[in-house]
A and B are shown apart, each in its own frame.
Chain A
Amino acid sequence: MTILMYNKRWKIFTFILLLSLISSNVSLTGAEEDFDYDITYVLSNDHIAAGGDLAVSINLTGRYIADGPYSLDKQIEAQVELLLDGVRIGEGTVPAGPMEIIPYQEITISETIPGLVPPGTTVGVHELVVRSRFNALGYNIEETETFSIEVLEVASSGGPMEPYLYFSLSPLQMYFDSTSTLTLRVFNPNDSSMSTEVSLYSSSYGYESAIGSYEISLEAGGAEEIRRTFKLVDNDIGELCFIARLDWYEIDGERFHCQCESRQCAEILNRPSLRPNITFENYSDLGDGYFIADMILSLDNATEWERSLIVDELNLSIALPEELLIVEGFVEYHQTVRRDLTMTIRVKGPLEEYYNTRGLLEGTYVFGDPDETVEFTYPFMIPSTDTVRETLGLGPLMDGGQDDGSRGSPNLGITAFLIGGLSGGNNMDGMNEIFSYIDQLFQ
C-alpha cells in the first residue's frame, strides 16, 4: 500500500514538477496539494540589435507537500526552444532529478537559455516564443510563452565577443547526501564558429578542486551544455560553490585570451526538523491484573538532509495517563543528538481498568549558531485496554460493559455516530452530538 501510495505521489509530483518547469500559466486542479510552486520566465532584454544576443531565464520555486520524502531516481528533462518569428534561435534543456524530494523544503530550479538574433533580422517588433516540451513518463506536454522584442539596427561589429557562461544548479538547495545537477551552458554570441576549453572547479571556504576540463566547438549562435550531477557527502560543509573558467577561445583559427569566469553557489540547508514516532510492542501479562509493554520512542531523520544536523540540546518529557506507569526509561531527557534517536521505555498498565488512551510527548531542541530553539508537542495514542487484552489473548473488558463514551478518548460519542453512518440516523441528533463534542474540544 505504501509503495502504491508513493508511486502515485511520485507520478503526481513528477508530472507537476515538469509541467511546472515548462509552463508559465498552467492551472491544475489540486496541484497545490502536491507541489506548491511559482514559475516565471524572464527575458534579458527586449531591445536587441540584429545579430545581438538575448537570454530567457526560467525560474521555478516550489515545495513538495507530502508526509514523507520521495526519491526521484533518474534525471528527466524538459526541452526548451527560443523561436523568433517561428525560427529557432536558441535551445537548451532543463533537468529535474535525480534528487531526494523533501516535504516542505523549498526547491529552486533556474535555467537560462541563450539565443542569437540573426544578423539579417529586419528592424521592428518581432515575436519571441519560448516553447517548452516534455515527453517522458507517458506525458507529452508542450507549453509556450510569448514575448515581444524590438529588433534595432545591426550593431556595428566590435570584433569577436567572448563566449558567455550560464551556470545553474538544480535544485539550488543542497544538504548532506543530497544530489543536485550542475549545468554549464557555453554560448557563442558571434556569427562565426568558435572553439574553446572550459574548466570546472568546486570551491568551499576558499579551497578549490578541479572537477573536469572540456573542449568545446560552437557554431555561430550555438550553445553547448555540460552537465554533471553531484552528491554532497560532507556533512559539515556550510559553503559550496562551483566555478567555470575559460582562458581562451578561437575564432577562424585566431586565438583570443579571456578571463571568463562564472560562479554558482549552492544553498546549503542545515535546519533540523526532528519528527517523533511512538509505538507499543512486546506486551506481556504480569499476572496481577497488569500488563507491561515497551513504548518505543524514535526521533526520526525523516529527511536525509537532517543527518547533517547536530542538535546541541534535546529536551523531552513524556506525560502518560495516571493509570500507566513508567517502570524503566525516562520521563525527562536531555542530551546532545547527532543521529536518529530510538529509546525504549517500559510501561505498566492495568488490565482490569480503563484508562485515558492519550499521551503527550513535549520537547525542545536547540541547534545552530546562534542558538535556535524549536519546540514541539506530539500527542500520541496509547492502545486501549481492550486492544492490549486482545493482543494478550484475553477477551474484551466486560466490567461495566462496552465503552460508553465516558472513558477512553473523549470523542467516542462523535466517532460512534460518525462511524455508524448517516443512514437511518437522525442528522439533527447527530449534529447535537457533535456540538457536545465541540464543547468538550474547545472548552
Chain B
Amino acid sequence: MDKRKLALIIAISFIMMILALGLMTALGVISKMTWIGLFLNVFGKDVDVEDVGSDVVYLDFQGLHIPSDAWDTAYGDDELIIENKTATIGIKTIEKEVDDMDDYLSSKASELSLDLSSNGMDTYVERYKMCDEDAYIVIAESESTNYLIIFWYMEERIYTINALYDIRADADEVIASITCS
C-alpha cells in the first residue's frame, strides 16, 4: 500500500471517528461533561471558577431567618407567604400562653389530623424538631392536593409553617432553608 493511500485511509477514519463521536454526543450517548472531563485530563489545565460567594439576604420574620431573594414573598406582621415552584408556604405565628404546651400541641396535632382525615384526606402525624423545640408535623394528602403543617411553641408564640405543594421537595427546599435566631 502506498503512503498516499495509507494517509487517505487514516484521514477518512479520523473524520469518520469525529463524525461518530459528534453523532454520539448529539444523541446523548456521550455527555458534554465527559468531553469537558476528557479535555481537562488531556490538557491538564486548572479551570477558573467563579466564587459565587455565600451572601444570602435573609428576611427576619418573628425570629426566623428566611432567604428572601430566592423566592417570591408576601408578608405582614404575623404572616409570611413564600412561593417556590409548585409549593406555597405560609408561615404564621400566634401569641399564646399555655400551661402544658406538650399536651396542647399533641392534642392540636390529633385534632387537625382528625379534621383533615374526616374530610377525606389521608393524614399522618410525626414528631419533629424546629429551632431545637419539639414540634409536630401533620401531613395530609388527597387526590389533588398535598398539605403539611409544622407547628411548635417558642417564646410564647405558636409558630406554624403551612405548605401546599405538588412536589414535596419544593416545600422542603423552603422549609429546610428556614433558620432560627
Q: Which of A's residues lie within 8 Å of B, judged by CB? A: 357-358, 377, 379-381, 409-412, 414-415, 417-423, 427-428, 430-431, 434-435, 438-439, 441-443
Residues of B within 8 A of A411 (CB): 112, 115-116, 119
Could you tell me the distance in whole angstroms from the C-beta of A160 to the nearest C-beta in chain B? 56
Q: Are B115 and A415 in contact (CB under 8 A)?
A: yes
Question: Are B92's CB and A419's CB within 8 A?
Answer: no
How far, in angstroms, from A419 to B122 measured CA to CA in the complex?
11
Q: Does B96 contact A (CB under 8 A)?
A: yes
Q: Which of A409, A410, A430 contacts B164 (CB 8 A)?
A: A430
Q: Does B74 contact A (CB under 8 A)?
A: yes
Chain A neighbourhood of B41, CB < 8 A: none
The 3 closest A-B pairs by CB, nearest first: A421-B144, A415-B119, A427-B88
Known: A381-B114, A435-B79. A420 touches B164 (CB 8 A): no
Number of interface residues of B (CB under 8 A): 35
Query: Within 8 Å of chain A (Cβ to Cβ): is B62?
Result: no
List, in ascending order, chain B residues with CB within 8 A of A380's CB.
114
User: Known interface pairs A421-B145, A435-B90, A441-B108. Does A428 touch B116 (Cβ–Cβ under 8 Å)?
Assistant: no
* Residues of A close to B116: CB separation below 8 A: 411, 415, 418
Contact status A438-B144, CB under 8 Å = no
Residues of A within 8 Å of B145, CB to CB, are: 417-422
Is B90 within 8 A of A419, CB to CB? Answer: no
Given contacts A409-B119, A411-B115, A419-B119, contact A427 B83 (CB under 8 A): yes
CA distance A417 to B142 in the complex (A): 11
Residues of A contacting B149 in the complex (Cβ-Cβ under 8 angstroms): 438
Query: Which residues in window 10-47 of B have CB below 8 A to A?
Result: none
Residues of chain B with a CB closer than 8 A to A442's CB: 94, 96, 108, 151, 158, 160
Interface SS of chain A:
helix
A411→B123 CA distance, assembly (Å): 14
When A377-B107, A441-B108, A442-B108 are in contact, do A435 and B115 touch as well, CB less than 8 Å? no
Q: Is the CB of A418 within 8 A of B162?
A: no
Report B131-166 residues with CB < 8 Å from chain A CB: 140, 142-145, 147, 149, 151, 158, 160, 162, 164, 166
Q: Is B178 an interface position by the 8 A CB rule?
A: no
Does B120 sit at the interface, judged by CB under 8 A?
yes
The one of A379, A418, A422, A427 in contact with B114, judged by C-beta atoms closer than 8 angstroms, is A379
Q: List 29 A-B contacts (CB under 8 A).
A: A377-B107, A379-B111, A409-B115, A411-B116, A412-B119, A415-B120, A418-B164, A419-B119, A419-B121, A419-B142, A421-B142, A421-B145, A423-B144, A427-B88, A428-B83, A431-B88, A431-B164, A434-B90, A434-B164, A435-B90, A435-B92, A438-B160, A439-B94, A441-B111, A441-B112, A442-B96, A442-B151, A442-B158, A443-B94
List B22-78 residues whose CB lies under 8 Å from chain A.
74
Report how far A427 CA is from B157 CA in the complex, Å. 25
* Nearest opposing residue in chain B for A423, CB measure: B144
Complex contacts, A443 vs chain B, CB 8 Å: 94
CA gap between A39 and B143 in the complex, in Å: 39
Provide the bound-state CA to CA distance between A438 and B158, in Å: 10
**Chain A residue contacts of B86, Cβ below 8 A:** 422
Q: In the bound complex, do residue B110 and residue A422 qualify as a contact, i.e. CB atoms below 8 Å apart?
A: no
Residue of A with least CB distance to B147: A418
On chain A, the residues within 8 Å of B74 by CB distance are: 428
Q: Provided the pairs A409-B119, A411-B116 are in contact, do residues A422 and B92 lie with their beta carbons within 8 angstroms?
A: no
Docked complex Cα distance between A415 and B120 (Å)? 9
In the assembled complex, which residues on chain B have CB atoms less than 8 Å from the CB atom of A430?
88, 164
Contact assessment for A420 and B144 in the assembled complex, using a CB-CB cutoff below 8 Å: yes
A438 near B88: Cβ-Cβ < 8 Å: no
Question: CA separation between A381 and B120, bound complex, in Å?
Answer: 13
Which residues of chain A are within 8 angstroms of B162 by Cβ–Cβ distance?
431, 434-435, 438
Q: Which residue of B lies closest to A434 (CB)?
A: B162
Given contacts A431-B162, A434-B164, 15 further A-B contacts (CB under 8 A): A357-B118, A411-B112, A411-B119, A417-B145, A418-B145, A421-B142, A427-B88, A431-B88, A434-B90, A434-B147, A434-B162, A435-B90, A438-B160, A442-B94, A443-B94
Alpha-carbon separation in the docked complex, A427 to B88 (Å): 6
Kindly report which residue of chain A lies nearest to residue B141, judged by CB atoms: A418
Interface string of B73-103 (1 = CB under 8 A from A): 0100001010100101010101010000000
Cβ contacts under 8 Å, B158 to chain A:
442
A377: B residues at CB distance < 8 A: 107
Given A422-B144, A428-B81, does the pair A438, B92 have CB atoms closer than 8 Å? yes
A358 CA / B81 CA spacing, docked (Å): 31
Q: Please, which residues of chain B bring their CB within 8 A of the CB of A417?
A: 145
Query: Max chain B CB contacts within 10 Å: which of A380, A430, A434, A443?
Result: A434
B-side contacts of A381, CB under 8 Å: 114, 118
Q: Are A418 and B121 in contact (CB under 8 A)?
A: yes
Q: Which of B111, B140, B160 contacts A418 (CB 8 A)?
A: B140
Q: Chain A residues near B81 (CB, 8 Å)? A: 428, 431
Residues from chain A with Cβ under 8 Å of B107 in the complex? 377
Give, as a whole number of angstroms, the nearest-CB distance from A411 to chain B: 4
> In the complex the two chains form, is A419's CB within 8 Å of B120's CB?
yes
Task: Report Cα–Cα, A434/B158, bound state, in Å.
Answer: 15
**CB-based nearest A residue for B115:** A411
Cross-chain contact of B90 among A409, A420, A422, A431 (Cβ < 8 A): A431
Q: How far is the CA of A423 from the CA of B166 in the complex (A)?
A: 10
Residue of B nearest to A415 (CB): B119
Give A54 to B60 CA distance when docked, in angstroms: 60
Bound CA span A427–B115, Å: 21
